Amino acid sequence: MRRLPPLASLQVFEVVARHRSFTRAAEHLCLTQGAVSRQILALEEHYHCSLFVRGSKGLTLTVEGEILLPVVRESLARIEEVSLRLTRQRTDLALKVPTCVMRWVLPKVLRFQSEHPQLQVKTTTTWQHDVDFTSEPFDAAIIYGSSPGTDVHAIALFEEQLIPVCVPELLEERPLAMVDDLAACTLLHPTRDHRDWKLWLDRAGATRVDPNLGLSFETLDLATNAAMHRLGVAISDKTLVGEDIAAKRLVTPFETAVETGFRYYFVYPDSVAHQPKVELFRDWIMQLRDSGYPEFAGP
pLDDT tens for each residue of the chain, 299 residues long: 567 788 889 999 999 999 999 999 999 888 899 999 999 999 999 999 999 998 877 899 999 999 999 999 999 888 877 776 665 556 689 999 999 898 889 989 999 999 999 888 999 998 889 999 988 889 999 999 999 988 899 999 999 999 999 999 999 988 999 999 999 999 999 999 999 999 999 999 999 999 999 999 989 999 999 999 999 999 999 999 998 999 999 999 999 999 999 999 999 999 899 999 999 999 999 988 887 655 554 43
Contact between residue 221 and residue 104 where contact means Cβ atoms under 8 Å apart: no
| Strand duo 258-268 + 140-145: pairing | antiparallel
Rg of the chain in Å (alpha carbons) = 27
Q: Is 232 exposed, middle or buried (0-12, 13-18, 19+ CB in 10 A)?
A: buried
Residue 258 burial by Cβ neighbours in a 10 Å radius (0-12, 13-18, 19+): middle
pTM: 0.69
Domains and CATH numbers, the chain: 7-87 (1.10.10.10), 91-299 (3.40.190.290)
Write the DSSP symbol of residue 91.
Answer: T
Question: By C-alpha distance, which of 216, 166, 226, 225 is closest to 196?
Answer: 216
* Helix/strand/coil percentages in the chain, nearest 5: 45, 20, 35
